[in-house]
Amino acid sequence: MHEVATLQGAIRTALECMQQSGASRVTEVQLAIGVSDHFSADAVYQYFAVLTKGTPVEGASLSIQWLPATYQCFSCLHRFESGEPSEQVMCPRCGGLALAIEHQDVCRVSSIEVSFGEEAGVVGLHMREPAAPGTGMTLLAGECAFPAAREASQ
């Protein structure tokens, strides 16, 4: 259940940024996830829905940006990069099966959109990556960057 812990960290990061900004709800979460055997899009969406129940993130839309991995074809030995989930990757040269040989084990919140209440509208918050990202399947919490648009929307 490594994926659950990783997504719990992503949700915690979104909630912390929401609270720091003074917002009341998270309306959209964008994740950047390294393509690997650890995650599938279906699993990420299912875990996200379950883990956000009863929180200010519940009902938020989720988008995933897959960070590319390097693959090598079993048949022709061609090396290439792809941002597709690993179960969908075929060699672009010969159509053969390919194996991921390098990938980024990372799941980070790249941005969130929050609501400050019905009358205040929505504003996006973008994440700044920490100076020294960890290794392994680590959530990069980063810092919230509050755009000037927040003051304009209030």
Which tops the pLDDT comparison, 91 or 85? 91
Within-domain flag for 36: yes
> Is the pLDDT at 63 greater than 90, yes or no?
yes
Which tops the pLDDT comparison, 146 or 16? 16
Within-domain flag for 115: yes
Within-domain flag for 14: yes
User: What pLDDT digit, counting tens, does each position of 88-104 carry?
Assistant: 789 999 999 998 888 87
Within-domain flag for 59: yes
Number of separate domains in the chain: 1
Cα gap 53→41, rounded to integer Å: 19
Among 26, 31, 28, which residue's Cα sits nearest to residue 6?
31
Cα gap 126→146, rounded to integer Å: 7
Within-domain flag for 80: no
User: What pLDDT digit, counting tens, does each position of 105-124 carry?
Assistant: 788 898 888 888 764 445 55
Structure confidence at residue 78 (pLDDT) = 97
Q: What is the CATH number of the domain that holds 11?
A: 3.30.2320.50
The whole-chain average pLDDT of the chain stands at 77
